[in-house]
Structure 1
Amino acid sequence: MTRKHAPATTRNREPIAALLSETLPPAGLVLEVASGSGEHVAFFAERFATLDWQPSDPDPAARDSIVAWCAGRANIFAPLEIDAAAESWPIDSAAAILCINMVHISPWEATLGLMAQAKRLLGPGAPLILYGPFRQRGVPTAESNEAFDLSLRARNPGWGLRHLDDVTAAAQGFTLGRIEAMPANNLTLVYRRS
């Protein structure tokens, strides 16, 4: 199986891990939605070894890469095929949900599906953690993010940077508890299940 490599992973995994250390529960299952190459889940599962990790991705090549990166790690389950926009997911509950760089590289329906399923899967107080570039009211968008947005929309008109207010409005049943600035003009958003 072929390991894919996403260069951004090595740049952002430590800052994300630092925030996760303050956000994740001490035990339980963390569902990662849109795991991509699998590099993040492999790194976080080693860093947070008391947690079980459930990667997922709709792309078979990504799931193969996840398996290749995570081979031999007892606290990482086999990746699930999850399309975030689907009405049902093959999982019953989670202690936390992590979603890195999906919201802007997917149709808006994927974000709506993520929010609906997170509401079903998470118990009161459990975190839904999103990472990526977002637009914020009253905050100028970095030129690099504006260029990225244009390139995303050129690839697929349904993709592009989302406005924080729209994402939060879609997160019914959640409270936005933290907005953390991250490297390369990204944010981490921590929602908590009401």
Structure 2
Amino acid sequence: MPDALFSPAAARNAAPIAELLKRVLPLSGLVLEIASGSGEHAAYFARAMPALVWQPSDPDEAARRSIVAHAGAAGLGNIRSPLAIDATRQPWPVTRVNAVVAINMIHIAPWDATMGLMAGAEATLAEGGVLYLYGPFREDGAHTAPSNAAFDSSLRARNVSWGVRDIEAVTAAGRAHDLHLVERIAMPANNLSLIFHRGSRGSAGDREVAP
């Protein structure tokens, strides 16, 4: 696969993320993945959840070629051709989806990308639809582990507009677009999974579940 890219992080976290997604995503329907990167997650998740149709996307052409390569190697019928979606640019070329997934995205992008993600998710998700975020987060103004603090410093050294985000700011950004945090789940390697529902005011609230 000459066009295929490989991410060690994707290889490590695909299985635990997939197990969680099996619980929080609908049993069937269309899932839009924003910033799919190499496409390894798309292939893994499409195989793990065959009743869901996976729509990968990435603004980078090399990433989209890699997605096509991994999808072709997987030989699955429930992975669509990748879309060139920049989260900051509205509207997205998708009208309605059952879930939106963004893994390790918002800390490797300007804050405008988080705001665009929330706006796009609001526009494309049906009532009760799921927005799933995965990655490191700060909580109560502090990093949750020394390794996350070091990672944050390395990100900001690469680009001053990048960095590990405060969970409170992300939650507020979602709420402004009718996306409400219903679950916070600790994941391996000091990461978190955040599950938002569109239009779910007055739901169970932020409850923590053991990894």
TM class, shorter-length: over 0.9
Cα distance, 1:14 vs structure 2: 1.2
Alignment counterpart, residue 190 of structure 1, candidates 179, 183, 195: 195
Whole-Å separation in 1 of the counterparts to 2:154 and 2:142: 21
- After TM superposition, the runs of 4+ consecutive aligned structure 1 residues lying more than 6 A away are none
Structure 2 matches for 1:133-172, cutoff 5 A? 133-137=136-140, 140-171=143-174, 172=176
Q: Secondary structure, in 3 states, of the residue corresponding to 1:130?
A: strand
Cα distance, 1:2 vs structure 2: 1.3
Cα distance, 1:138 vs structure 2: 7.0
- 8 Å contact from structure 2 (residues 26, 98) kept in 1: yes
Whole-Å separation in 2 of the counterparts to 1:22 and 1:104: 25
**Alignment partner, residue 181 of structure 2:** 176
**Alignment partner, residue 209 of structure 2:** none
Q: Check 1:120–1:5 CA distance in 2 against 1; reply closer, same or farther (3 A cut).
A: same
**Alignment partner, residue 70 of structure 2:** 69
Give the length in aligned residue pairs.
194
**Alignment partner, residue 43 of structure 1:** 44
Cα distance, 1:103 vs structure 2: 0.5
- 8 Å contact from structure 2 (residues 10, 40) kept in 1: yes
Matched, 1:21 2:26: no
Q: Check 1:119–1:20 CA distance in 2 against 1; reply closer, same or farther (3 A cut).
A: same
Answer 1 or 2: higher relative contact order, Cα 8 Å, separation at least 6. Answer: 1
Q: Secondary structure, in 3 states, of the residue corresponding to 1:61?
A: helix
Whole-Å separation in 2 of the counterparts to 1:25 and 1:139: 33
**Alignment partner, residue 112 of structure 1:** 115
Cα distance, 1:87 vs structure 2: 2.0
Matched, 1:95 2:94: no
- 8 Å contact from structure 2 (residues 137, 143) kept in 1: no
TM-score by length of 2: 0.90
Whole-Å separation in 2 of the counterparts to 1:161 and 1:146: 8
Whole-Å separation in 2 of the counterparts to 1:119 and 1:101: 20
**Alignment partner, residue 86 of structure 1:** 89
TM-score by length of 1: 0.97
Whole-Å separation in 2 of the counterparts to 1:137 and 1:2: 42
Deviation sequence 1:149-188 (CA, Å, 0-9, x none): 0110011100000000000110020110110111111000
Q: Secondary structure, in 3 states, of the residue corresponding to 2:91?
A: coil
Q: Check 1:158–1:179 CA distance in 2 against 1; reply closer, same or farther (3 A cut).
A: same
Q: Secondary structure, in 3 states, of the residue corresponding to 2:100?
A: strand
Identity of aligned residues (%): 55
Q: Give ranges in structure 2 of 5+ residues lacking alignment.
A: 200-211
Cα distance, 1:140 vs structure 2: 4.7
Cα distance, 1:141 vs structure 2: 2.5
AA of the residue aligned to 1:91: V
AA of the residue aligned to 1:186: N
Whole-Å separation in 2 of the counterparts to 1:64 and 1:114: 23
